[in-house]
Amino acid sequence: MLTNNMTIKIGGEAGQGMDTSGAGFARALVRSGLHIFANSDFMSRIRGGYNFYQLRVSAAPVYAPDRVTHLLLAFSRDAITQTLNEIAPGGAILHDASIKIDPGLLAERRIQSFAFPFEAKALEIGRAAGMDPKRAKLMTNTAALGATVAVTGFPFERIAEVITENFGKKKGSAIAEANLTMARWAFDEATQYAERFEWKLIPPTNGDNRMILNGNQAIGLGALAAGCKFISAYPMTPATSIIEFLTAQSKRFNVVTKQTEDELAAILYAIGVNQVGVRAMTATSGGGLSLMVEALGMAGMTETPLVVVDSQRPGPSTGMPTRTGQGDLLFVMHASQDEFPRIVIAPGGVESCYADTARAFNLAEKYQCPVLILTDAFQAFAARSVGVEELPFEEFQIDRGKTLTDEELAKLQPGEYKRYALSDDGISPRAIPGHPNAVYTATSDEHTESGRIEDEDPANRIAQHEKRMQKIETLKQEMRMPEWYGRANAPITLMGWGSTRYAIREAVDLLNARGIPANALHFVDIYPLDETRLEKELAQARYLIDVEGNYTAQLAQVVRGYTGRAVNDKILKYDGRPFTGAEIAVAVAQIAQEKAAQVKPRTVPHNGHGEAAPVTSEIVEPLAVV
């Protein structure tokens, strides 16, 4: 049968080709009409360590990783020891015969072992093809895929197409033929285990056309849709593949990409390009953004549109470069000294990375301020099958806000244009340099309406500062409220932001399926917040549980600071790994046990007016039966 939630994990050491094999298999699955969600976990080293590529497959769309593995393709002993407790009863480990597994451990967990002489056969076929032994050993990946399609009932022809593409174009027909021979041998050998393995990958009769995108690629696509023509960046994991993607598309979309000498240069390039009217961006991680902070303030003072992507990773300093986390929220909200308007958004999912990045460019120009996009390592690398209809590339409408046209400038008298003119909404008319009636000074010092530095007049300082800050009040009307998911008026609400979106949704689905009414409140637009509207949304949450990938519950701090509403409980994770829906549901169960054990209900702040609501049996009882 085809389950609606089958997970295959490919595990081994860096350099053994897990990502290449997994990505190739993912393409074959999607081309056959199945849906996939893929995420990789790897150490910050070129060789060795334990890495894996996880592939969740379904006949229906899937949006998040699972913590249960049905089939493990183990290329090292670590892959087995690290994954053994995750393998579902009836699941299997597919491995080289040289890796020995204690039969008692397998029997205790009802796990099957499918062993093959992969390496020996790879060397044999490699010798016949005149291959170097090191390269020949890499064909064990191809063999494992051949065995996988056999035990799962997937058509061999589909994987053969991908093998031919991968090796035929890049490395010559002899290498392709050797890999096809290897895959066919493994497929024939593994057929004997097909009846013993319960889960099957049966392609639908009519599969839709889909592509596979990860979060960074979707961010790049969103930038292209918005008319971005320039990106500058200094390589920093996990943001680097954004500039790599745009570089690969640069000729097709007429985009200039610049790898700079450091992060400060990267943001200064982007500011300069935006200043002359070309949409530009930069992308980095938290450490790189730390170096950009001074220039971020300059963009705020000169009111230059700017899009900055911060792809978060754990730890101060170098931290854990290839792991994930949500620890930069408070940092980006307050980066640089003093006060100036900025926008903070945190896309959740591939389609959101696309749409909200495109929207960020409109917001930056409309409000003439920096827009910071918060993503993270998990979302950067995680990929899923996406329908073309989810990314309406040609339908995006570019909005340049109060940008004056040449015709409008021609109507002005010389010297009449004021770049920083006072206005009710805080937004001044913007002119692109080059027109004779649009000559002005742009300086990082406090300035007059014309942009000039004069006598540091207090009245002028007050007027210009209030003008800039007025943008925040104007912006609040455009910022979107957090989205609801799940049952209306449910007694339990899970609150999150950014990349946790679909893991939280899956947790809500799991809870509701078990008869536990729950819903979710998820933030994409985080700053500025409209306190009045947000208080009304939060008032609908009766028992509010915060779910975040950091230690200090940063979103919960922001929400309480702006509305007075404290969360009832927190589910926090800061080990560098992403959430799964199942673990969030389990954490809710643990909360339930604690609340059910309480003799007296305790009270928590209910809204910004200081009202309190008791934790009543109506809330505790649903929690208690999770």
Give pLDDT tens digits for 526-576: 999 999 999 999 999 999 999 999 999 999 999 999 999 999 999 999 999
Q: What are 370-393's pLDDT values in tens digits? A: 999 999 999 999 999 999 888 888
The more confidently predicted of residues 46 and 269 is: 269
CA distance 313 to 325: 5
Please tell me the predicted confidence (pLDDT) of residue 42: 82
Task: For residues 222 and 240, give the distance between their C-alpha atoms in angstroms, rounded to a whole number.
Answer: 16
* pLDDT grade for 38, boundaries at 50, 70 and 90: very high
Tens-digit pLDDT profile for residues 215-249: 999 999 999 999 999 999 999 999 999 999 999 99
Q: 102-106, 111-115, 311-315, 592-596 — which is least confidently predicted?
A: 592-596
Q: Per residue in 484-511, pLDDT tens? A: 999 999 999 999 999 999 999 999 999 9
- Looking at the structure, tell me whether residues 68 and 185 fall in a common domain: yes
Residue-wise DSSP of 410-439: HTSPTT---TT---TTS---B--TTSTT--
CATH of the domain at 54: 3.40.920.10
The CATH number of residue 290's host domain is 3.40.50.970
Same domain, 218 and 153: no
- 321 and 351 assigned to the same domain: yes
Q: Looking at the 3D structure of the chain, how many domains does it have?
A: 3
Q: In a 3-state reduction of DSSP, which class is residue 78?
A: helix
Quick one: 608 and 494 in the same domain?
Answer: yes
Is residue 452 one of the residues assigned to a domain? Answer: no
> Does residue 602 have a pLDDT over 50?
no
pLDDT of residue 610: 37
Q: Summarize pLDDT for 77-113 with one digit per residue, the tens.
A: 999 999 999 999 999 999 999 999 999 989 999 999 9
Q: Are residues 518 and 596 in the same domain?
A: yes
Q: Decide which of 344, 379, 395 is a domain's last residue.
A: 395
Flag whether 179 is in a domain. Answer: yes
* Cβ within 8 Å of residue 55, ≥6 positions away: 7, 8, 9, 10, 22, 25, 26, 29, 36, 37, 38
Whether residues 274 and 190 share a domain: the answer is no
Question: 58 and 164 in one domain?
Answer: yes
Q: Which residues contact 592 (CB under 8 A, 6 or more apart)?
A: 620, 623, 624, 625, 626
CB of 311 closer than 8 Å to CB of 375: yes
Domain annotation covers residue 537:
yes
580, 65 in Cβ contact below 8 A? yes
Task: Residue 620: give the domain boundaries.
Answer: 483-624
Indicate whether 608 pLDDT > 50: no
613: pLDDT strictly greater than 50: no
| pLDDT interval class at 611 (50, 70, 90) | very low
- Looking at this protein, which amino acid is placed at residue 477? Q
Provide the CATH number for the domain around residue 584.
Answer: 3.40.50.920
> Which residues, including other chains, have CB under 8 Å from residue 177's CB and lie 6 or more apart?
129
Is residue 420 over pLDDT 60? yes
> Out of 28-37, 282-291, 448-457, 539-548, which region has the weakest mean confidence (pLDDT)?
448-457
Contacts of 458 (CB under 8 A, 6+ apart): none
pLDDT at residue 21, rounded to an integer: 86
- 178 and 302 co-located in one domain: no
404 or 171: which leads in pLDDT: 404
Q: Mean pLDDT over residues 165-190, rounded?
A: 85
106 lies in a domain?
yes
The whole-number average pLDDT for the span 103-131 is: 93
pLDDT digits (tens, 9 = 90+) for 435-453: 999 899 899 999 999 999 9
Does residue 90 share a domain with residue 13? Answer: yes
Checking if the pLDDT of 64 tops 70, the result is: yes
* Domain boundary, last residue among 395, 411, 427: 395
* Per-residue pLDDT at 460 exceeds 70: yes
Output the pLDDT for position 487: 93
Q: Per the domain annotation, does 52 fall within a domain? A: yes
pTM to 2 decimals? Answer: 0.93
As a whole number, mean pLDDT of residues 339-351 equals: 98
The pLDDT of residue 206: 73
Q: 302 and 223 share a domain?
A: yes
Amino acid at 532: T
pLDDT over threshold 80, residue 620: no
Q: What is the mean pLDDT of the chain?
A: 91
Residues 242 and 94 in one domain: no
Residue 207 included in any domain: no
Residue 344 inside a domain? The answer is yes
* Residue 372: strand pairing partners: 308, 344
Give the domain-ending residue among 370, 395, 420: 395
| Residue 137 belongs to a domain | yes
**Does one domain contain both 233 and 382?**
yes
